[in-house]
Each structure stands twice: as structure tokens, then as C-alpha cells.
Amino acid sequence: MPAELTFAAPRRAKPPRHLADLSPDERRAVVTELGEKPFRAKQLAQHYFGHLESDTAKMTDLPAEARERLGSALLPPLLTPVRHITCDDGMTRKTLWRAFDGVLFESVLMRYPDRVTLCVSSQAGCGMNCPFCATGQNGLTRNLSTGEIVDQVVAVARDLARGEVAGGPGRISNIVFMGMGEPLANYRRVLDAVRRITDPVPGGLGISQRGVTVSTVGLVPAIDKLIAERLQVRLAVSLHAPDDELRDELVPVNTRWKVAEVLDAAWRYAGTTGRRVSIEYALIRDINDQAWRADLLGELLAGHLVHVNLIPLNPTPGSKWTASRPEDEREFVRRLRAHGVSVTIRDTRGQEIDGACGQLAAAEQ
């Protein structure tokens, strides 16, 4: 494998062990090793996943003398919010997080009339090296642990439940793994995070699998592994070009797995799960927004269980890449629909708050 397609994260100190890293059986084992009754593990999980509480000092159903010990062992602080920035009258809120080792990553909460979506990061940085992406240009620092992924969700869900986000108290309904990083390059931890997010309380947060979307630039073997899990999460493929010549440039992993291989894997996923695949396509002016590329994309997708999300590019400072002209965007949509392909243009939230993944972290660094 060429060096630029090596997906392993650099070796760094590990985040502290957290309740969310562990299965229910593993939690009971840790609690027992601490000299406590196994059912204390379920009590801790009920507080964390059910009540969104991480402070054992507030868990009055635990023995007072055990709270600090249990908290240190299973609920250590993982994330510190560096800042929250908002737009859309507070309905969009981006959070910059700092982990125990100082690495920075981001999540974005988006409130809509019919749903509340949280976009989470799975890595600090990204090793996919897509040239139009702020995160890709910063490189990969390390994988996030399962606990660090899940704790983004719990922390934001807590703020929502307490009415600390514009719009009043609420609940997260959708999770999208579309923040910093390539989720399937951190496969095991992301899969464990999906289970913690979707397992019923107190095993997890109890969010429906059908409300979870996992994105990928097209790591075909990992897509096949995900198929074997038989989950009901949605698969999103960041395609960005229908032809190999351009996609080799925009998504360098395409030099390993070509467009046809990636789409074949996507169709296998749709065929096994019955879930419609999302094709993510960032429209970049004069690069991938030509009418003939819309026709080629339509030909590739026609007749499949698929939906296209066209994304007006959120340009990064100093970048040559910018959003398509409105007339080219409209023509792209028209041509896809002419091929019978379902397509929408993604709501471009967060542009005024460095909404593209990696922009806020890059600015802080």
C-alpha cells in the first residue's frame, strides 16, 4: 500500500478508560475488581446514559465512600469544551473540544423543526488527505476512543436536556459520523460507539439505529465488515466525483478503490440492510460541477436504492476551492433528477462559524 494510503493513527498516550468504552459485562468486571457489587455498574450506566450525569458526587444511590473510587475508575473527565460558537439564532452550535492530551476536535449540533442532529468526530484530524477539506489538510493526529466519541453525544444531550441550547429543552434524534476523521479508519471504536449510542438505556443512549449515519470516503473492506454487522445505520459515501481521473485527485484513497468498487460495496450494503445509501457530493466550482459529470453520476446511480446529498462547498480560508455557481448547482440537480435519482441540496448551516470540519480546530491551533 502506498505510504499516503496508510490509515494507522500515530501511536500516542491512550485516553483514560471510561464506562462508554466497555460492554455491560466489562463494566461489571471492573466494578467487581474495585470491591463493589456488580449491580453498581448498572447504576453508573443508568446515571451516565439515562440521566446524562457524569459526576458521581451527585449519584446519591451509590455508597458515599465508593463514589470517588467508581468515578475515577469508570467516569474520568474525557472532554473539555474550549468554546461554543453559534449561528442560525442559536439553532446551530459548534463545539471545540480538548481531550486529555490536548488534541482538538469538533462537533456540531443542528436543530431543525422536525429533528435534532449532532455531527460527531471520530478522529482528531484525518489521514485521507482530501485537498478541499480543512481536516484533511491538517493530517491525522490520532483516533478517538469510543468513550471520547460517545462523550460528545452525552455532553451535548445533557446541554439540550437542561435547556442550555437555543430552542428550549430537547433530545438528540440523529447522529451523523461526518465530523473530523474517516470513521471506517477507526472501525472498532466507531462500531462500539454506535452500539453505545443505540443500545437501550442503561446499556447505551437508546437512539434508534435508523437515526445514525456513518460516512466513509470508500474504504471497501471496512464497508463489507459493516455489512456483516447487520446494523440498520445509514451508510453515506463521500464520492465527490463520478470519474476516477478526478476522484483520484479529490479523494486520494480512490487510487486504491476505484469508483466502481466503492459503489458496488454501497449497493451490497443497501441490498443487505434495505437502507438507502447516501451519496455525499461537495459541489466545487469548475472542478466537479459540470453538466456531463452530473449525467455520468446519474447513469452510475440510476435504479439503485440511493439518495444524493449535494453539498455547496464551505470554503476554507486561503483555499482555491469554492462553491459552485447557483446556475450550475441548479443544472446539476436537474440532470440527476432526469436520470430518476433522488437528490437534495444540503442546508448550508454554519458557514459563519467555521462550519466546515476542521476549521475551528485549525484556527485554535
Residue type, 83: R
Residues 6+ positions from 344 with CB-CB distance below 8 Å? 307, 308, 309, 310
Scanning the structure block, which residue is given the C-alpha cell 494507522? 8
User: Does 357 participate in catalysis according to the annotation?
Assistant: yes
Q: How far apart are the C-alpha atoms of 305 and 319, rounded to whole Å? A: 35
**Contact assessment for residue 176 and residue 188, using Cβ atoms and an 8 Å cutoff:** no
Residues 6+ positions from 57 with CB-CB distance below 8 Å? 67, 68, 71
Residues tagged in the binding site annotation for [4Fe-4S] cluster:
126, 130, 133
Residues tagged in the binding site annotation:
126, 130, 133, 181-182, 215, 238-240, 314
Strands (E), the chain: 80-87, 92-98, 104-111, 116-119, 123-125, 140-143, 174-177, 212-216, 234-238, 277-283, 306-312, 342-345
User: Does 327 participate in catalysis according to the annotation?
Assistant: no
CA 60 to chain centre: 34
Q: How far apart are the C-alpha atoms of 211 and 198, rounded to whole Å? A: 9
Residues 6+ positions from 263 with CB-CB distance below 8 Å? 237, 239, 300, 301
Q: Which grid coordinates belong to 123?
A: 478522529
Residue type, 339: H
Residue tagged active-site, from 106, 119, 148, 280: 106
The residues that bridge with 175 in the sheet, in sequence order, are 118, 212
DSSP 213-237: EEEES--HHHHHHHHHHT--PEEEE
Residues 6+ positions from 297 with CB-CB distance below 8 Å? 239, 242, 279, 281, 308, 336, 341
Residue tagged active-site, from 36, 148, 280, 357: 357
Residues tagged in the binding site annotation for S-adenosyl-L-methionine:
181-182, 215, 238-240, 314
- Kindly list the catalytic residues: 106, 357
